[in-house]
Amino acid sequence: MIAVIDYGSQYTQLIARRIREENVYSEIFPHATLAKDLEQKNLSGIILSGGPSSVYSENAPQIDKNILNMKIPILGICYGMQLLIKNNDGKVLHKGHGEYGSSEINKVEDSILLKNLTDPSQVWMSHGDEVDELGNGYRVTARSLTGVIAAIEHENELRYGVQFHPEVIHTIKGQEIISNFLFEISSCIPNWTAK
């Protein structure tokens, strides 16, 4: 099972659907969910959704830091990636402009998350803030054509992030990215159906 933690993205339901389309069960949880609640679920992985807030805003939804200490893979999407960086002594900034709509990214390092992605690859961006400094242990695996950090992964832990939205059809190889997270990283077994 994959837990999708909801940070207010209009695409949260779509993330859960994309996982289920791969015959893996998923459930959506509110952002206030605690690690102790997730530990009872026998999870294979966690996805942190996007959201409209800035991670540094006073009332922005946060994450129980104990979730980040769980020994299972985590994928942060957009706001979710920025949360990973904020909790890793990195920096997320608003530089006066964002990226909205169709964009292209280029891989800069090999990554199992981006396996089988074309280069460049068309993605769907929707963010005002961007990662400026990664903090400890993360490396950049892809950048947008404007140089924005588009994908990251941790060198020692199963922590991954993408600044774009792999769950929408406008990201051409988005389902491959989700599949890579489910099967190559989280070792899910595709044996779930709605029936």
Hey, which residues are catalytic here? 78, 165, 167
Q: Which residues contact 195 (CB under 8 A, 6 or more apart)?
A: none
Strand ranges (E), the chain:
2-6, 26-30, 45-48, 74-77, 91-93, 99-107, 121-127, 130-133, 138-144, 149-154, 159-162
Q: Write out the DSSP string of 51-80.
A: -SS-TTSTT-----TTGGGSSS-EEEETHH
